[in-house]
Amino acid sequence: MLVYYRNCLWIERIKLTFTLSIYDIYFRIRNSVHFSRTWLLLMTTNNQPSILFVCLGNICRSPLAAAILRHHLAEKGMTTKIRVDSAGTGNWHVGSAADPRSISVAKTNDITLDGRARQVTQEDFHDFDYIFAMDRQNFKDLQTLQERYGGKANIKLFREFDTATESALDVADPYYGGTTGFQDLFEILDRTCWMIIDHLTEEVTT
Ligand code: 4NP
């Protein structure tokens, strides 16, 4: 009787060990599938170039540049190919809508300009592939921030891509000027955004 009872105990133990092993194998496979999926997602996301436009206040130049670029990407059916955002080096206007003059010049050109101003963050230097500075002062400030924060972001001067001019390196700050400054601003941003698209199209399609 005792022998029979011992044998039963052993059988139960073996059954339990077997069941636990099956669960263990199941969870290991499940975790590895989950890991592969996450990895695949990250790889896909990493193949999508991302651009951050930066000016001082994030209410005039950079949000308009981002809206123009998004508009042209949509026209080319490339909305999902390139991620676009904007930010400011300063924090005075955080949470504010874009300057009404930028919104107005965008609207005249059938472009929607919405969203709220935000300041550049540490994560931006790790998250974005390219950061385009609107002027040389923004460029210097961004370089100083990157020395502190690190990150892969390639910081460039926006007008490096503007082949219509060799001498002007800055997108002039229109904040204290009149409405005509915003029309000029639109033209500079618009033509340069097309040049950036040409540059990046190669990157996305190769
Ligand atoms: P943004 O223009 O840098 O193109 O957005 C400015 C907006 C606000 C100020 C300066 C520039 N500000 O001094 O408040």
Q: Which of 10, 30, 47 is the last residue of a domain?
A: 47
Q: Determine which residue's CA is closest to atom 10 belonging to ligand 1.
A: 57
pLDDT of residue 148: 98
Q: Model confidence over 142-152: pLDDT tens digits?
A: 999 999 999 99
Question: Which of 46-50, 100-104, 176-180 is predicted most confidently?
Answer: 100-104
Q: Are 88 and 118 in contact (CB under 8 A)?
A: yes
On whether both 42 and 54 belong to a single domain, the answer is no
* Ligand 1 pocket test target in 55, 56, 103, 159 with most atoms within 8 Å of CB: 56
Domain that holds residue 84: 48-205
On whether both 99 and 133 belong to a single domain, the answer is yes
Q: Are 155 and 179 in contact (CB under 8 A)?
A: no
pLDDT of residue 5: 53
Ligand 1 atom with minimal separation from the 92 CA? 14
Percent of the chain scored above 90 by pLDDT? Answer: 64
Q: Are 58 and 97 in contact (CB under 8 A)?
A: no
On whether both 160 and 185 belong to a single domain, the answer is yes
Q: Which of 16, 32, 47 is the last residue of a domain?
A: 47
Please report, for the domain that includes residue 172, its CATH number.
3.40.50.2300
Query: Among the options 124, 135, 162, 173, which is catalytic?
Result: 173
Q: How confident is the model at residue 13 (pLDDT cuts 50, 70, 90)?
A: low
Distances (CA, A) of 19 to 5, 64, 175, 194: 21, 61, 70, 62
Nearest-angstrom CA–CA distance, 87 and 124: 9
- What are the tokens at 174? 């229109």
On whether both 113 and 150 belong to a single domain, the answer is yes
Residue 101 a catalytic site member: no
pTM comes to 0.78
Radius of gyration (Cα) for the chain, nearest Å?
Answer: 27
On whether both 82 and 39 belong to a single domain, the answer is no
Nearest-angstrom CA–CA distance, 34 and 192: 42
Q: How confident is the model at residue 189 (pLDDT cuts 50, 70, 90)?
A: very high
- As for ligand 1, residues whose beta carbon falls within 6 Å of it are 55-61, 88, 92, 173, 175
For residue 118, how far is its CA from the centre of ligand 1 (angstroms)? 12
Q: Determine which residue's CA is closest to atom 7 belonging to ligand 1.
A: 57
Query: Among the options 60, 61, 85, 193, which is catalytic?
Result: 61
On whether both 97 and 42 belong to a single domain, the answer is no
Nearest-angstrom CA–CA distance, 49 and 46: 7
For residue 92, how far is its CA from the centre of ligand 1 (angstroms)? 9
Nearest-angstrom CA–CA distance, 134 and 168: 11
pLDDT of residue 25: 47
On whether both 52 and 65 belong to a single domain, the answer is yes
On whether both 70 and 169 belong to a single domain, the answer is yes
DSSP designation for 54: E
Residues 112-134 have a mean pLDDT of 97
CB atoms within 10 A of CB 125: 20
The total of structural domains in the chain comes to: 2
On whether both 54 and 39 belong to a single domain, the answer is no
On whether both 82 and 143 belong to a single domain, the answer is yes
Residue 110 a catalytic site member: no
For residue 59, how far is its CA from the centre of ligand 1 (angstroms)? 6
Residue 55 a catalytic site member: yes
CB atoms within 10 A of CB 164: 11
On whether both 70 and 112 belong to a single domain, the answer is yes
Strand partners, 154: 130
**What is the per-residue burial (b if ≥16 Cβ within 10 Å, else e) of 188-200?**
bbbebbeebbeeb
pLDDT of residue 40: 33
First to last CA, the chain: 76
Q: Determine which residue's CA is closest to atom 13 belonging to ligand 1.
A: 57
On whether both 56 and 41 belong to a single domain, the answer is no
